[in-house]
Amino acid sequence: MIIVTGGAGFIGSNIVQGLNARGITDILVVDDLTDGHKCLNLADADIRDYIDKDDFLRRVEANDDFGPVEAIFHEGACSSTTEWDGRFVMAVNYEYTKALLAWAVARKVPLLYASSASVYGMGPTFRESREFERPLNMYAYSKFLFDCHLRRFAAGIDSQVVGLRYFNVYGPREQHKGSMASVAYHFHNQLNDSGRLRLFEGADGYGPGEQQRDFIHVDDVVAVNLWLLDNPGVRGIFNVGTGRAQSFNEVAHAALSWHKGSAGGGGIDYIAFPEHLRGRYQSYTQADITALRQAGYEGEFMPVEIGVPRYLEWLALRD
C-alpha cells in the first residue's frame, strides 16, 4: 500500500493520478474534506481507502499498523501563505510531519514530503543550504523548521526521507485553492470573463509584468516524486523547479496565444502594484536544481510555452 496525505489536494491528487497511470490502486488517501469540493479531484481516481487527517494522526501517534506500506507521499499541509495563526500552522505542518517521520523511520518506510521554495524568502539565491533560507511567513517558517529538524537526525536514519522544495506549481486539480491557485488558473478565468489579463505594474526594479518566477507544471512535479519512489537510495532535501525563471508576461503571452487560437482577441492590463506587498513580494525565484541533477534525475521540465497551453486545454474541457 502507498499512503498519500493531502491526497485530495492539488499535488497529492496528481500523485494519485500518476500512481494510477502505473496501475497502482492500493492507495490510502489522507485528507480533510471539510471542503467537499476537493472530492472532485479524486472522482476519476482509483484508491483503496480514505481516512480523515486527524484520525490518521491519532493512529500514527498510537503507533498503529496500517499493514505493509511501500511509501508515504506527505503532501498534506496548511499551504496558505497568509495564515498567521502560528499555533495552527505549526500543529498542522510541523508537529504533524514530525509524528509521521518518527512513524515512518521506525518502520523503514520511505517518506517523501512537501517542503517549499518559500523557505528562501526574497532570495536571491535558491540553493538547499541554511545560509540562503530566510522564511517570511508562518507557512514558510513551518516548512523551514521541519527541514532543520530532518537535518539534525538525517545521519541516523536508515530509510529514505526526501524533502521537496516546490517552486511555483501550476496545473490540473488546483481549482479548490481559490486565491492561492496559480497565476495560470487565474488567467484562465480572466480570459473567460473578459478576454483580458491583469498583471502588476513594475516593482523592485522590474518593468510591468517582468517579475520572474520558476513556474513548474504539476506533471513534472509528479514525475520527480515517482522517480524518487523508484530510487529509494536517494535521500535529502531537493529543489523542484525547472531551473529557469520566466516572467509573468511570458505566462500571460502563453495563455493569450492559446486563447487566440481557441476564442480570439485578448490583451494585458497592468494594474497598480499593491502597497501592502512592497518589500514582501517574491519578484524573482529560480530553483538551483544542481543537487537534483547530481542525484540522478534526468527528466526534462516544461517551459510555460508548453505547460500553460496544456493546462488551459485541460481546464477548457471541464468548463
Q: Which residues are annotated as a binding site?
A: 10-11, 31-32, 38, 53, 75-79, 143, 168-169, 177, 179, 186, 200-203, 213, 281
What is the DSSP code (8-state) at residue 203? B
Task: Pick the catalytic residue from 139, 141, 284, 311.
Answer: 139
Close Cβ partners of 306 (under 8 Å, ≥ 6 residues apart): none
Binding residues for substrate are 168, 179, 186, 200-203, 213, 281
Give the residue carrying C-alpha cell 471541464. Answer: 318
Task: Pick the catalytic residue from 177, 206, 270, 297.
Answer: 177
Distance CA 268, CA 257 (A): 12
144 burial class (0-12, 13-18, 19+ CB within 10 angstroms)?
buried
Close Cβ partners of 179 (under 8 Å, ≥ 6 residues apart): none
Active-site residue, 98 included: no
Active-site residue, 260 included: no
Binding residues for NADP(+) are 10-11, 31-32, 38, 53, 75-79, 143, 169, 177
Q: Report yes or no: 27 and 48 within 8 Å, Cβ to Cβ.
A: yes
- Reference 295, options 242, 244, 231; nearest CA is 231
Question: Where are the extended beta strands (E) located within the chain?
Answer: 2-5, 27-31, 49-52, 71-74, 111-116, 161-166, 168-170, 196-200, 212-213, 215-217, 236-240, 246-247, 267-271
Torsions phi, psi of 166, nearest 5? -70, 140
- Annotated active-site positions, please? 139, 177
